[in-house]
Amino acid sequence: MDESEVELGLLEDDDVEMEEDEPMEELPEEKVEEEEEIDIDAENEEDELESSNLQELLETGVNELEDPIREFREKAVQASSYDITPTVAIPMATSINACAFTSGLRWLFTGGEDGYIRKYDFAASVNGQLPLTVAQKHPFVDTIVNAGVLLNYFTNGYEVDKPSPVYSLAVHTQGLWALSGVNNGDIIMYSTRHQEGYPITSLKKHTAPVSILTLHSEERSVLSGSWDRDVHLWDLETGNVKATFSADSGQVSHIQYRPVPGTITGTESDDMESLFGSPVSRSPCESLFGEEEAKQKDEEKEPLSKDDKNQVTVSNDENTPEKQEEGNVFYSLYIDGILALWDQRQPNVISKYPVPKGVPPWAMSASWAVDGNSIFVGRRNGIVEEFNVHGPKEPVRVLRMPANSGPVSAVCPTPNGRYLVTGSYDNVRLYDLQKTSGINFLIISGHHGGLVSTIFTEPSCRFMISASGNRGWEGTTTEALLGYVINSNP
């Protein structure tokens, strides 16, 4: 066979292979472009449909994604009782004077007498990533098996060698920064996510240690109370003092904003009355200043002219008394037992509640009721007094602990409004506010034998924190922080 025949044979074989592997017939360019345009139009229609659905959701205020915190909160609000079990213990060799928390209790910050601010991973602590040792378990009940997962710590104050005791703490909900008071009265802002412990700036006005810091819900301002007996409202964007509140009383021991109905920290009860009158009242001054003065103020208002009436625009209930009071009304408690009610838009005190006769002049902690209509105040003689902000200046109810329980240094209501968690020297109790006969409380195991500086339940009411510390005043402590798991019973 000659070379020409071989080449011819190869060519024939190649032709056969090309026929077998011959690709499909290509579509004309015009048809391809039409199909691409159809696909693009379909995608655009889907995007427009999604955007329209999103706009409808935004307009109606409905969110398809379920909020687990709100679900747990609603379950806790409707609960008939709670099972509170301690599972976490964080022992420290110092008095725990202050605690602060980020959103969802992701990070826990503590401040003690030793001058150190500690940052813990609370979720990892509850999940048991670090168990307690046998020696650490000894002073606690059997259910406490988990230890705190420490992430970082840094000194408080300007001098690393001589840190200042921590008596007050406040932290950003996302953990971007934290505020802490020092001995000379300054408030230092620390970076807590990047370059943890780096002092960003300081707020200078107080002349004595800062005993309490309370952030506004918008986190653009903070209220500070000090041993110099003054309360300052700070603008965190400028670092200046916006207002000063002085009740001519003792050292400030506690400050808390009034809960607002419809928020995650309050309730949507219709019983939430305004301090300045109910929503249907004609005058916002009706409940505080009496009906006669309210009528006089209404009469003093000049009638609107025709031009003014044409310029009036209707708002969606933004000027109701409840909306006006949102984030403005707060109380300040003083160590000598005096309770003062304020509106941060005016310098004068709204109402001042003296210490009742026969009650020792001492108070470390108080708390609003969930409906915002009353305030609970813990006393040295083992009682808790309830003051109604719409009623007289005497307590409307007195809750009595056992005779040898010691001073009540911390109080915190439950979301359903039926129970009050009280921290006494001997134990932490769950007090039933609706029970009128027999024993009105249950003992929550865990704490025993020391002043309680903090009791806190997070918004979803799944976890609770109690810390033992004297906050710079007299009293012994257990030098331990306990974490509890809460089960809401329907």
What pLDDT does 41 receive?
Answer: 57
* Residue 75 pLDDT: 84
Alpha-carbon distance of 350 to 105, in angstroms, equals 34
Mean pLDDT on 450-469: 92
Phi, psi (deg, nearest 5) at residue 306: -65, -40
Q: Average pLDDT for residues 449-468, to the nearest whole number?
A: 91
Q: Encoding tokens for residue 89?
A: 């213990």
Do 109 and 96 meet the contact criterion of CB atoms below 8 Å apart? no
CB 481 within 8 A of CB 122: no
Residue 14: the pLDDT is: 45
Residue among 219, 90, 113 nearest 168 (CA): 113
Say how far apart CA 464 and CA 486 lie, in whole Å. Answer: 7
> What pLDDT does residue 436 have?
83
Residue 180 has pLDDT above 50, yes or no: yes
Residue, of 152 and 53, whose pLDDT is higher: 152
Taking a C-beta distance cutoff of 8 angstroms, is the pair 349, 341 a contact? yes
Q: What pTM value is reported for the model?
A: 0.75
Which of the four pLDDT bands, split at 50, 70 and 90, describes residue 283?
A: very low
Residue-wise pLDDT tens digits, 226-260: 999 999 999 999 999 999 999 889 999 999 999 87
pLDDT bucket at 69, cuts 50 / 70 / 90: confident
Token pair of 367, please? Answer: 């708390």
pLDDT tens digits for range 10-39: 444 444 444 444 554 554 555 545 555 555
The pLDDT of residue 11 is 43
Give percent above pLDDT 70 in the chain.
73
Of the listed ranges 211-220, 257-266, 389-398, 440-449, the one predicted with least confidence: 257-266
Q: Enumerate the domain spans of the chain.
A: 68-258+330-489, 273-302+316-326
Among the residue ranges 227-236, 299-308, 325-334, the one predicted with the least confidence is 299-308
Architecture of domain 68-258+330-489: 7 Propeller (2.130)
List all residues 6 or more positions away from 399 whose beta carbon is below 8 Å from its beta carbon.
Answer: 376, 383, 384, 385, 386, 420, 422, 431, 433, 440
Residues in contact with 260: Cβ distance below 8 Å, sequence separation at least 6, in sequence order:
217, 266, 322, 325, 326, 327, 372
pLDDT over 60 at 286, yes or no: no
The two three-digit tokens of residue 27, written as one number: 């579509």
Calculate mean pLDDT across residues 165-177: 94
438 confidence band (pLDDT: 50, 70, 90): confident
The pLDDT assigned to 141 comes to 93
User: Which residue type is seen at 58?
Assistant: L
Q: What's the chain's length in residues?
A: 490
Say yes or no to pLDDT of 415 above 70.
yes
pLDDT tier at 134, thresholds 50, 70, 90: very high
State the amino acid at position 276 in one-letter form. Answer: F
Q: What is the CA radius of gyration of the chain?
A: 31
Report yes or no: 437 and 49 within 8 Å, Cβ to Cβ.
no
Residues 490, 408: Cα–Cα separation, whole Å = 29
Arithmetic mean of pLDDT, 343-356: 92
Measured CA to CA, the distance from residue 270 to residue 140 in angstroms comes to 43
Looking at residue 218, its amino acid is E
Residue 149: which pLDDT band, with cuts at 50, 70 and 90?
A: very high
Higher pLDDT, residue 54 or 352: 352
Any long-range contacts for 172-179 (C-beta under 8 Å, 24+ apart)? Answer: 172/102, 172/215, 172/219, 173/102, 173/103, 173/219, 174/102, 174/103, 175/102, 175/106, 175/107, 178/100, 178/109, 178/117, 179/213, 179/215, 179/222
Burial class from Cβ neighbours inside 10 Å (0-12, 13-18, 19+) for residue 369 reads buried
Q: Other CB atoms closer than 10 Å to residue 57's CB: what's the count?
A: 13
CA nearest 232: which of 357, 344, 122, 317? 344
Q: Which two tokens stand for residue 270?
A: 């219709």
Q: Which two tokens stand for residue 403?
A: 């005779």
Q: Rounded mean pLDDT of 365-391? A: 94
Question: What is the average per-residue pLDDT within 464-475?
Answer: 93
Q: What is the mean pLDDT of the chain?
A: 80
